[in-house]
C-alpha cells in the first residue's frame, strides 16, 4: 500500500492541533480538540508536542521567537483543515471492526486521513484517483458479495425510523409488516427485512463541503449486506427531502458507486 502514496505524516492529536494553531487554520473536522484539561496540563502537552515536532524537523524556531512550519507538513495540514471537499467513509465489517477514513481534496493534494491508534493521526498523500480507488476497495472488503433479490424501491424518510425500530425490537416479521404497510412489494420486503435484521456488514459515504466556518452535506450514500446479498442506499444531499432509494446491489456495484462518488 505504501508504494501508492507520496508520503505518510504521522502526528499525535496534540501535534496536529499545535500545527493548526501555528498555521492559523480553521479546526479540522476530526479528531476532536484534545485540549480540554486544565491550563497547566494544556501547556505541558503543547510543549511536548512542540519539542516532538522540532525533533523531527517539522517545525523550527525563526527570528523574533516565530516558529516556522516545514512547507510539506503545512500543505498536509492545510489540506485537512481547508479542503475543497471531504469524503467521510465508514465501514463496519462482519467481525464488528469499525474502519473510518476522511479523504480531503485540496487544490493540489488528496489526503487520506485515518486514526489507527487512539493517540495517532495518519495523513497520507495519495498519488491519483486510481490509487485512491484501490485503497478504498481494500477498506470496504465487499469482494464476492452477491446482489440481493428483487427490484429497487423507495421509502419516505419519515418511515425509516419506524422500520428500523421494528427490525430491532420485533424482528423480521414485524419489520416485514412495516415494509408491507409502506407499499414495498413482498419479495423486496422479505429480502430487505432479512438484511436489516441480520446485517453482516455496512457502510456509508458522506460528501462535505466547507466554506469558511460553514460545513454542508453534498450527498450521503449507504450500503448493507445481509445473508441474501447487498443493498445500496441513496439519500441524496443533506437538503434533499426526496425519498430514500434502496437498490439490490452486488459488492462490485457498491464499490463502483463509491468510486464514482469519490470523483464528484
Distance CA 212, CA 19 (A): 19
The predicted-structure confidence for 58-97, as pLDDT tens digits, reads as follows: 999 877 778 899 999 999 999 999 998 999 999 999 898 9
DSSP letter (8 states) at residue 256: H
C-alpha cell at 84: 475543497
pTM > 0.95: yes or no: no
pLDDT in tens, 28-57: 876 566 666 666 788 888 899 999 999 999
Decide if 213 is inside a domain: yes
> Do residues 27 and 72 both lie within one domain?
yes
- Gap between the Cα atoms of 230 and 248, Å rounded: 6
Mean pLDDT of the chain: 88
Q: Is 169 a member of any domain?
A: yes
User: What is the structure's pLDDT at 49?
Assistant: 93
98 within some domain: no
18 plus 132 within the same structural domain:
yes
Query: Cell numbers of 183, please?
Result: 407499499
Confidence tier at 212 by pLDDT (50, 70, 90) = low
Nearest Cα to Cα of residue 117 among 221, 44, 13: 13
Tally of structural domains, the chain: 2
- Regarding whether 131 and 44 lie in a shared domain, the answer is yes
Q: What residues have CB less than 8 Å from 23, skipping those under 6 apart?
A: 69, 74, 77, 78, 81
Query: Which residues share a beta bridge with 61?
Result: 67
What is the span of the domain harbouring residue 240? Answer: 153-262
Amino acid at each position: 500500500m505504501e508504494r501508492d502514496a507520496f508520503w505518510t505524516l504521522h502526528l499525535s492529536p496534540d501535534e496536529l492541533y499545535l500545527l493548526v494553531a501555528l498555521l492559523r487554520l480553521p479546526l479540522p473536522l476530526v479528531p476532536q480538540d484534545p485540549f480540554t484539561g486544565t491550563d497547566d496540563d494544556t501547556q505541558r502537552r503543547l510543549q511536548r508536542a512542540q519539542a516532538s515536532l522540532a525533533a523531527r524537523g517539522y517545525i523550527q524556531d525563526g527570528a523574533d521567537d516565530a516558529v516556522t512550519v516545514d512547507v510539506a507538513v503545512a500543505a498536509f495540514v492545510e489540506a485537512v483543515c481547508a479542503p475543497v471537499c471531504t469524503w467521510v467513509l465508514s465501514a463496519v465489517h462482519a467481525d464488528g471492526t469499525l474502519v473510518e477514513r476522511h479523504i480531503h481534496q485540496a487544490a493540489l493534494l488528496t489526503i487520506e486521513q485515518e486514526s489507527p491508534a487512539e493517540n495517532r493521526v495518519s495523513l497520507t498523500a495519495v498519488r491519483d484517483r486510481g490509487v485512491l480507488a484501490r485503497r478504498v476497495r481494500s477498506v470496504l472488503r465487499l469482494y464476492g458479495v452477491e446482489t440481493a433479490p428483487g427490484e429497487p424501491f423507495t421509502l419516505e424518510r419519515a418511515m425509516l425510523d419506524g422500520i428500523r425500530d421494528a427490525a430491532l425490537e420485533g424482528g423480521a416479521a414485524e419489520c416485514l409488516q412495516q415494509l408491507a404497510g409502506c407499499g414495498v412489494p413482498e419479495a423486496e420486503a422479505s429480502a430487505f427485512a432479512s438484511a436489516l435484521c441480520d446485517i453482516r456488514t455496512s457502510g456509508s459515504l458522506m460528501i462535505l463541503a466547507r466554506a469558511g466556518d460553514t460545513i454542508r452535506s453534498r450527498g450521503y450514500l449507504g450500503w448493507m449486506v445481509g445473508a441474501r446479498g447487498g443493498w445500496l442506499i441513496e439519500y441524496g444531499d443533506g437538503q434533499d427531502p426526496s425519498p430514500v432509494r434502496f437498490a439490490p446491489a452486488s459488492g462490485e456495484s457498491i464499490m463502483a458507486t463509491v468510486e464514482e462518488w469519490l470523483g464528484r
